[in-house]
Amino acid sequence: MISTVQKNATEEAVIRRIIDGLDLPDTVKEYRLRLTNDSFGDPAVYLLFLLSDDLKPEEFLSETGRIQRILTDAILDSPETERWPFPAFSSVEEQRELERKYPGTTW
């Protein structure tokens, strides 16, 4: 029998492989993910993409829309996972500031 921890580690590896295989823009500096259930109890993957600090607001909006489309299609089309993706976006500096302001909170 596979434990929940082992299953989540396998699913995380699958999702990371999917994301790492995508043609994401160079403005994506890092991403983090968390496997859990959504508010309905369905399997979900919450993702945080950290984008370059030098993006103008209109560029940030354009990039996040593009990344969301690419990511959602790739994860939902994959037969290897049934998790629904919930992407979020932040600049690298904004995330650093949040982590300084609220230490101990992790993504």
The answer to the question of residue 75 being in a domain is: yes
The answer to the question of residue 106 being in a domain is: no
The answer to the question of residue 107 being in a domain is: no
Question: Residue 3's pLDDT band (boundaries 50, 70, 90)?
Answer: low
Amino acid of residue 39: S
Domain of residue 83, CATH code: 3.30.300.30
Question: Residue 5's pLDDT band (boundaries 50, 70, 90)?
Answer: low
The answer to the question of residue 90 being in a domain is: yes
CB atoms within 10 A of CB 76: 12
d(CA 64, CA 50): 10
| Nearest CA-CA partner of 12 in 46, 62, 41, 63 | 46
The answer to the question of residue 35 being in a domain is: yes
Q: What share of the chain is helix, strand, coil (3-state, %, to 5)?
A: 45, 25, 30
Strands 28-37 and 43-51: antiparallel
pLDDT tens digits for range 10-36: 999 999 999 999 999 999 999 999 999
Can you give the pLDDT at residue 2? Answer: 62
Q: Which residue has the higher pLDDT, 46 or 105?
A: 46
Q: How many domains would you assign to the chain?
A: 1
Quote the domain boundaries for residue 22: 4-101
